[in-house]
Structure 1
Amino acid sequence: MISPCRLGNDHLLLAVRLTPNGGRNAFDGVDVSADGLAHLKARVSAVPEKGKANKALIALLSKSLKIPKSLISVVSGDTARQKILRIDGDPEDLKSKIDALAAI
């Protein structure tokens, strides 16, 4: 399986495809787009206005990874479905947790 993660020295970059108004807050595995890039599929029940869906995504990731929300930030794709998130911390540890989420 292709990983949606890119490891840095003290952080991890995570590619996400977010579905707002998804009815529930959950992860739906990993998908590979036409250009061959993998992304974690996530859905949140929040609406895509004034950053509510992004906040819900960060809260869902924070809870799932058991890390503070302050360690997660949106690097690109603020208003798009495709996003890149930066998650500060031990990249190897974070990658193993995300791979476990992606396997659901």
Structure 2
Amino acid sequence: MASNTVTTTPTSIQISGITILMDPVVDHKLSIELLVDGGVFIKQQFGRNIPGLRCDLSPPMTLMGGSRLVVQLREHRTIQSTNILAEAVFVNQNLQQSMLGASGAF
């Protein structure tokens, strides 16, 4: 018997925020940078000794299928260049599956 079920892959997803949990907590000023397809989408700075960093996006960011999202956790410095402490890259035609598999990427 044939099935009439149609499976579709989303062509875009919306992201309303990014959360990074620190363990151990670092004694540095930090920043989160979101880059979409090579361009900086947003930068947000945080103070020292914060166990959880949250970057809320309002309105939500929409990622089209095939887009590349890079999330960077950086040590924020005023004089020297910033060090990238952690980076996660999401590139996939099935963006929904890519984002679900990213927990713990940092």
TM-score, with structure 2 as normaliser: 0.32
Higher relative contact order at CA 8 Å, sep ≥6: structure 1 or structure 2?
1
Pick the structure with more strand per residue: 2
Pick the structure with more helix per residue: 1
TM-score, with structure 1 as normaliser: 0.33
Higher radius of gyration, 1 or 2: 2
